[in-house]
Amino acid sequence: MRDPQLSFLETLDGTGTASRVTVPDGALETGRTRLWVTAIVFALSFLIVAGRLIDLTVFTDGALSAAARSGPAPAAVASRADIVDRNGVILATSLPTASLYADPGDVPDPEQTVTRLAAVLPGLDRRRALARLRSSASFVWLHRNLTPKQQHAVNRLGLPGLQFKRSERRTYPHGRAAAHVLGLTDVDGRGIAGVERFFDRMLTGGGAPVRLSIDLRVQSLLHRELAAAVDATSAGGAAGVVLDARTGEVLAMASLPDFDPNRPAETPPASRFNRATKGVYEMGSTFKLFTTAMALDSGTVSLTDGYDARQPIRVSRFTIADFHAKKRWLSVPEILVHSSNIGAAKMALDVGAETQQDYLRRLGLMSAAHVELPEVAAPLTPSRWREVNTMTVAFGHGIAVTPLQVAAATASVVNGGVHRPATIIRQPDGVVPAGVQVLTADTSRTMRGLMRLVVTHGTGRNADVAGYRVGGKTGTAEKQVGGGYSGDALVSSFVGAFPIEAPRYVVLVVLDEPTGTEETGGRATGGWVAAPVVGRIVSRLGPLVGLAPDPAPAPGGGKARLASYAPDGGAAREWPVAFE
């Protein structure tokens, strides 16, 4: 009988003779099991690979095929924090993008590669790209910050040796509106100007947005009115500031010409110059505000005092004369209202050089502004403060400061006499930064009344606005050209505050080398070209910030204190000079 533990298989040997091979039944079953296990493992592996391929080709964006060819994915780029305005509106943000690079050693045909790339990347610098692909370097950039559409187009070319690196592109949704405040970044995302540079460390690596004091609505209004004024007067440039008189917050600041931070390569270097904080100008008669304030505050003069303005003053080779000459005795209010250089110079002499410098220093006009921007210039002051300097500085010549400094100093004059440095960082609601008392509250009230008189009776009439009581001061200064002053090159300005009985905002407009128009009768002084711009800004700014116009404002302001004096040496007259 056959052994039940054996199985017999018939085989043929090499001669065709059948032979019998005996195999144990247990070994056969073991072999079958191993075959099944191996088959299952291969089937599972195949299913995993097939599933992954389906995921890559069907459910994932086709752009990943380029990443698959480019090797290991680069590390994720840290996002740069946003910059927002005081209301949370985004002013600057970062968007994900891709940049094209290559290892020249992996590119077999540089010329053909560049030709095909140029067909889908119109901005590609063909000569530079070809030079880089022919270099011996192991890494070269070919095109930075591609759009998704451009990346897809390059990917479809299937060119060997090209790879993408994930990165970010800084974007400014509102273009030119706040260009000089925001600044810009370089291609590697580092801040190189404006807020982007000043707060570069804080912005790098993400985190909470940097909230500015800028109000985009007010910024757009200021930018639009400045641009219209430049066009109308053919000015070479302009600067403007809107300041919160109570807190020192800058609600708007613009400089023209400007630039689009989204297109830095197209920006002429001159357009990046911030005239509001970097430009220093002799600001002309706006300085009479500070001269009058220091004279009243120091007790040097009273409202009933005055000076003889009949004849020009001759000092050495200089002659100080009045542009709007009255050729008579002028009271202190009239010196400001009619913008008398002669009266201001004599008033400053009585104040004295030392006291004059002390007040200017406390008003922030003798050192650079401490605003949070890298583009800040220090004022130009006389190296030796002689008698003639004391007189010329009184009416804004012989000293050059930035427009932002004039706006901040004017806020100090009207807000109760407290100087607070200008800031572009939003202050918490209800918080008023600490300041320095530089004028008495009574002097500030008196100055507000005098500034209103400038608009109602003096050189600032074109800044008057129905429904809002504006007070301010005009300024016109001849520019230095070739070692002397040119009557054809002016810096024309107006600085105003409103509502003048309790100022909320200070508005300054400066036009650089404007020309007269038919509407101004050919005149290009501050009262004719800058004051109307401030008036238009006020008329639009008031409703924008919730200040309803008064349909019937009282003449000269609200409840006013009157002063009596005899401007012509004859009968006394009364004008409102301070608001209660």
Domain positions in the chain: 83-212, 219-261+275-579
Do the two domains 83-212 and 219-261+275-579 of this chain adopt the same fold? Answer: no
Q: How many residues in the chain?
A: 580
Q: How confident is the model at residue 96 (pLDDT cuts 50, 70, 90)?
A: confident
CATH superfamily membership of 219-261+275-579: DD-peptidase/beta-lactamase superfamily (3.40.710.10)
Averaged pLDDT score across all residues of the chain: 85
Contact 494, 472 (CB under 8 A): yes
Q: What pLDDT, on a 0 to 100 scale, did the predictor assign at position 10?
A: 44
Q: Active-site residue 339, yes or no? A: no
Contact 494, 531 (CB under 8 A): yes
Neighbours of 116 (CB within 10 A): 15
Contacts of 365 (CB under 8 A, 6+ apart): 290, 379, 399, 401, 405, 406, 409
Neighbours of 262 (CB within 10 A): 16
SS3 273: coil
Q: pLDDT, tens digit, for every residue of 321-358? A: 998 888 898 999 999 999 999 999 999 999 999 999 99
Q: Which comes out higher in pLDDT, residue 14 or 461?
A: 461
Strands 83-84 and 210-211: parallel
**507-539 CB burial, b ≥16 within 10 A, e <16:** bbbbbbbbbbeeebeeebbbbbbbbbbbbbbbe
* pLDDT at position 17 over 50: no
Q: How far lies 100's CA from each of 152, 155, 171, 199, 324, in Å?
A: 12, 10, 19, 29, 65
Q: What pLDDT, on a 0 to 100 scale, did the predictor assign at position 550?
A: 81
Q: Which comes out higher in pLDDT, residue 368 or 206?
A: 368
Q: What are the beta bridge partners of residue 12? A: 18
Q: How confident is the model at residue 569 (pLDDT cuts 50, 70, 90)?
A: low
pTM of the model as a whole: 0.80
Sign of CA dihedral 196, 197, 199, 201: positive
* pLDDT at position 4 over 50: no
Contact 561, 439 (CB under 8 A): no
Strands 140-146 and 90-102: antiparallel
In angstroms, the CA 328 to CA 428 distance is 51
In angstroms, the CA 422 to CA 415 distance is 14
Contact 497, 506 (CB under 8 A): yes
Neighbours of 353 (CB within 10 A): 17
Query: Which residue is catalytic, options 99, 167, 213, 285?
Result: 285
179-196 mean pLDDT? 94
Q: Which amino acid is at 85?
A: D
| CATH level 3 topology of 83-212 | Penicillin-binding protein 2a (Domain 2) (3.90.1310)
Highest mean pLDDT among 17-21, 229-233, 315-319: 229-233
In angstroms, the CA 140 to CA 146 distance is 16
384-394 mean pLDDT? 95
What proportion of the chain, given as a percentage, has pLDDT over 70? 81
